[in-house]
Chains A and B, each alone.
Chain A
Amino acid sequence: MSYLEHNLAAVPVGFRKILALNWPILILLTAISGVGFVMLYSVAGGQIDRWAQPQMLRFFLGMTGLFVVAMVPIWFWRNMSFPAYCLAILLLISVEFVGTTGMGAQRWIDLGFIRLQPSEVMKIALVLVLAAYYDWLPREHISRPFWVLLPALLILFPVFLVLRQPDLGTSLLLIMGGGAIMFLAGVHWAYFATVISSGIGLVVAVFQTRGTGWQLLKDYQYSRIDTFLDPGRDPLGAGYHITQAKIALGSGGWTGRGLMQGTQSRLNFLPEKHTDFIFTTLSEEFGFIGSISLLGLYTLVVLACIASALSNKDRFSALLTLGIGITFFLFFAVNMAMVMGLAPVVGVPLPLVSYGGSAMLILLLGFGLMQSAHVHRPRPKLK
């Protein structure tokens, strides 16, 4: 029983809910997706039916889903959190057996109309279950070791399954997203300090032991790290992606070469140009102005999520909204850092812009949850 359920009378009903939606976020999401359509049209060399059109279809499907999810009261979704988490775990386990391995070892389940990536589902499910957990957990228990260990396991179990795929990028996103919610929920900062410092210690240890008889990573893993740190070492091999992406970005200049004028993507120098590396095409064709604008749109979404969460007196709703915002943030931040050579190439799509099967759909459904939280937020009692 939350505070919210005592103030039902204030929550809009029926079609009024539509008016109560967080429209700025909806507009931002549509704008970002619109940028995606233009870019997919461009990288396909002016063909609309190659990538842009399927992407639009998914967008409308996802938007419909968003509206449906948003109309359903948030307490229903709160009660669905644990089942959703369990379902996601089951899906993750099932891809071990029935999944199809595709490019870059991503695994999916083919549902006919869409290829569902369980790891994508897990990103939202984890946010849900952690928000529900901390809504349920009495405040005084939050920082007790047992009650900290429990959500940590909730995070690490799917991380373990995703790592087996292997999908390092999604694993890191899950850890960072989950950790952020734990931090927001009020877990004592000492836990994070411990984890972060031991993480740094591990990295130091990894590098210190290199070349010794008991080094912690395999040689090829070291060489990947080297390539990340200095892509010039192997410009045609492993560093090729990063080098070419940086060339594309850099050659955009202030205003870019113009739509469909990017030579890097047009001439196939760019890898994965319609998926993970689509930002490079945008940068090449629309320059610094284009890329900083997209970054601005993303930031506004995150800020809108924070504003919505801060104005939401319901703990579950607030944590969920922040969790969705952080997941979204991690997506674009990691992707941009990756293509700009600030982070290793780990295979994270640019949210709503990259051409991707379930990513857009799941993300929009996630925003549906966030909208539901916004629509059904507690309001002052009616007089």
Chain B
Amino acid sequence: MKYNPNDIINSAQQLSRRTLLVGTLQLGVVTALGARMRFLQVKEAEKFRLLAEENRINMRLLPPSRGIMFDRDGRPVAANVPNYRILLVREETKDVDQVLTQLQKLIAINPNDLEKARRELFRRSAFVPVTIAENLNWSDFVRVAANAPALPGLLTDVGLSRIYPQKENLAHVVGYVGPVSDHYLSRTEDPDPLLQIPRFQVGKTGVEAQMEHSLRGSAGHQRIEVNAVGRVMRELERAEGQPGATVKLTIDSKIQNFALARMDGLSASAVVIDCATGDLLAVASSPSFDPNLFVRGISRKNYNALRDDIFGPLRAKAVQGTYAPASTFKMITALAALEDGVLSPDDTVFCPGHFEISNNRFHCWKKQGHGALNVEDSIAQSCDVFFYSISQKVGIEKISTMARRFGLGKYHDLPMSAVSRGVTPTRAWKQKSFDKAWLLGDTVNASVGQGYVLASPLQLAIMAARLGTGRAVQPRLVQSIDETAMPLGAGAPLDVDPAHLKVVQRAMFAVTNTKKGTAYSKRIVSPDLQMAGKTGTAQVRRITSEERLTGVIRNEDLPWKKRDHALFVDYAPHDNPKIAVAVVVEHGGGGSSTAAPIARDITLFALTGQMPELSHYPTGVKAQIKEEQEELAPKLLDWSTLDKNGQVQT
């Protein structure tokens, strides 16, 4: 090629020009890159630093241990036990199957559960610990822990799970916990992040549910650094949560247990209340169920069996069930009349066996009639006509007002599920509820605790306590929350003339301690334990006039569902009431024959704190009582083993 110096100089000049142009362009790009760096790293630094933190840091909740519940004597009624678990991390073992086979040699694992765990292992990321077995006993757990070095990837872990050491004894009071449901989450406004933990356990019924906020405690948290796939790299911070509050109930497990055992085989309930403090010593509903079944999710079969039982083991009858108080209501009617002045203690009414009003005939339970009776005898012998008669003078409004003063027809705020309000009817109430006018006959029925009047066993026990003490005893189920004592329920003196109250108290004493009294045979003979009570027999069906003619069918001849409810209320000792008791036996027949003996035995047990001595009973029944007690003894809980096993985990 020909060499031309000029040409070279020209082209070199052009090259220089274009080089400078390209160089300038490059510098421009570099400047843009530098500006972008400055923007990202200096101007926006805060924002991105925050985003990086979010990437890096995960918060984990540390669930608090749930508050423990004791009875009044410090016996655990709801506790936490360690849940021994075995977990496996897939990435830390070479051969999952070999480890599982080895594990099976150490402890027995259900093959189905094992297969499920195996599938879960391979579905999850390799570093996620998967539960292989839980609720192991201590010896199995220790055996696995000791062999852990030979089983790569196996982790042993201790969680907490709820246990009710007394099983059936306090099922209705304490309730149970269960995994929080999606339904609950969707309607609750509770913002507690703990609820978001899968299968987190919350109270479902009873005190567990009603005092959920005290018992739950507050979550702790753990700040952990995670990598892009979520593996925990290290813990940055840990704040332990606040464990749930310790709750001490007023219940005396032994009295509760005795009451339940005494009502075994019956659909019944009993409430024992301390007259001085309002402490509920027993709130027993029979039959009961084992709340431990619910903690891990009850099987459908077990649940259906409980649900379909006609005795209704799931119902807390003692507070939830409402019954016509029947003759136990007569003290209220009597007091209403006495206080109103329409009746004086010596006024008598003649009972011919029936009472007529506006062409309706109302019968006394005693067909041939009681003859002339004053108020005291009418209560002792439970004459109906006397109360039919005086109710016409005093009227329903005053009767219901008196009933409410004694704790009927109003809500008692106890931390239990479905505490019933009961009914103390008034004219306005009937108009509102049924859109019907109040009839004279309604007052007649109400005067003997039938018709519209409804009360729960809890309310009847409160009524008895108030009748015995003359004070507005308030029920109390919780003694203390974390050492903070709850107010006592001794109550202020009732606004009732003491002389009138005395009349009623004497009458109740006569019920159980005079020969004509309806519960004379169920008396307590020891002078310092004598009780004052009242029987009640609540009709659950209407007795037609034809049946009256041919003779009223006896309870034993009726199907169970149609038999009368048997009721009994008492307080004891009669001259210085310490406790009041109410017993309702559903479809149990007569209050005197069925409910009174149960109430008597519970009263004696509650007062003496042990299986009642035979010396407290009248001579004639001693042999029978002895037999009953021998039958009853094996049904009681063995406290010596229970106190040992119901260890408390704090």
A: residues with CB less than 8 A from B are 1-3, 6, 136, 138-139, 180, 183-186, 244, 246-254, 263-264, 266-269, 283-284, 287-288, 291-292, 295, 298-299, 302-303, 306, 309-310, 313, 315, 318-319, 322, 326, 329, 333, 336-337, 340, 342
Contact = CB atoms under 8 A, between A and B. Distances in A.
B42 A3 contact: no
Contact of A313 (B12, B14, B18, B29): B12
Contact of B41 (A263, A287, A310, A318): A287
B146 interface: no
19 contacts: A1-B3, A2-B3, A3-B8, A184-B22, A249-B40, A249-B48, A250-B52, A253-B41, A253-B42, A268-B227, A283-B37, A283-B40, A283-B41, A299-B26, A302-B30, A313-B8, A337-B36, A340-B37, A342-B32
Contact of B19 (A247, A291, A299, A310): A310
Most chain A CB within a 10 A radius of its CB, from B7, B32, B40, B55 = B40
B210 to A, nearest CB: 44
Given A250-B45, A310-B19, A264 B52 contact: yes
Contacts of A264: 52, 55-56
B10 interface: yes
B23 A333 contact: no
Given A292-B37, A313-B12, A250 B3 contact: no
B361 interface: no
B18 A183 contact: yes
Given A263-B55, A288-B37, A139 B49 contact: no
A144 to B, nearest CB: 15
Nearest to A306: B23
Contact of A310 (B16, B47, B227): B16
A266 B47 CA distance: 20
Given A264-B56, A340-B37, 6 more contacts: A180-B22, A264-B55, A288-B37, A288-B42, A295-B30, A322-B22
Contacts of B19: 184, 306, 309-310, 318, 322
Label chain A's interface by main secondary structure: helix
Nearest to B27: A299
Contacts of A291: 37, 41
A136 B14 CA distance: 16
Interface in B214-236: 225-229, 233
Contacts of B11: 139, 186, 315
Contacts of A184: 15, 18-19, 22
Contacts of B27: 299
Contacts of A246: 40, 48
Contacts, number: 144
B623 to A, nearest CB: 82
A306 B32 CA distance: 20
A370 to B, nearest CB: 14
A267 B48 contact: no
B34 interface: yes
Given A183-B18, A295-B33, A247 B42 contact: no
A329 B27 CA distance: 10
Contacts of B229: 268
B52 A248 contact: yes
B48 A247 contact: yes
Interface in B26-77: 26-27, 29-30, 32-34, 36-38, 40-42, 44-45, 47-49, 51-52, 55-56
Contacts of B16: 310
A3 B3 contact: yes
B22 A183 contact: yes
Nearest to B45: A253
A313 B7 CA distance: 12
Contact of A186 (B14, B26, B56, B226): B14
Contact of A269 (B7, B18, B228): B228
A292 B55 CA distance: 25
Most chain B CB within a 10 A radius of its CB, from A3, A247, A269 = A247
A186 B10 CA distance: 11
A138 B2 CA distance: 9
B183 to A, nearest CB: 31
Please give me the 9 A-B residue pairs with the lowest Cβ-Cβ distance, nearest first: A250-B48, A251-B52, A267-B227, A288-B41, A253-B45, A268-B228, A251-B49, A269-B228, A247-B51
Nearest to B16: A310
A269 B227 contact: yes
B1 interface: yes
A342 B41 contact: no
A333 B27 CA distance: 11
A252 B48 CA distance: 8
A251 B228 CA distance: 16
A251 B37 CA distance: 12
Contact of A247 (B3, B23, B55, B225): B55
A253 B49 contact: yes
Given A136-B1, A306-B19, A318-B15, A252 B55 contact: no
Contacts of B226: 267
Contacts of A318: 12, 15, 19
A266 B18 CA distance: 45
Nearest to B52: A251
Nearest to B37: A291
A110 B376 CA distance: 115
B23 A250 contact: no
A263 B56 contact: yes
Nearest to B44: A250
B26 A302 contact: yes
Given A186-B11, A252-B41, A247 B33 contact: no
Contacts of B34: 292, 295
Contacts of B12: 313, 315, 318
A340 B36 contact: yes
B502 to A, nearest CB: 82
Contacts of B15: 184-186, 309, 315, 318-319
Given A183-B18, A267-B227, A333-B33, A250 B26 contact: no
A376 B454 CA distance: 116
A215 to B, nearest CB: 31
B58 to A, nearest CB: 11
A213 B68 CA distance: 71
A312 B41 CA distance: 40
B26 A329 contact: yes
Contacts of B52: 247-248, 250-251, 263-264, 284
Contacts of A252: 41, 45
A315 B19 CA distance: 12
A246 B47 CA distance: 11
B223 to A, nearest CB: 13
A253 B226 CA distance: 22
Contacts of B227: 266-269
A267 B1 contact: no
Nearest to B11: A139
B45 A333 contact: no
B24 to A, nearest CB: 10
A168 to B, nearest CB: 19
A267 B56 contact: yes
A315 B49 contact: no
Contacts of A299: 26-27, 30
Nearest to A337: B33
A340 B40 contact: yes
A337 B37 CA distance: 10
Given A136-B1, A267-B225, A250 B49 contact: yes
Contacts of B7: 139
Interface string B225-255: 1111100010000000000000000000000
A353 B223 CA distance: 35
Contacts of A249: 37, 40-41, 48
A159 B349 CA distance: 121
A288 to B, nearest CB: 4
A287 to B, nearest CB: 6
Contacts of A180: 22
Contacts of A183: 18, 22
B318 to A, nearest CB: 56
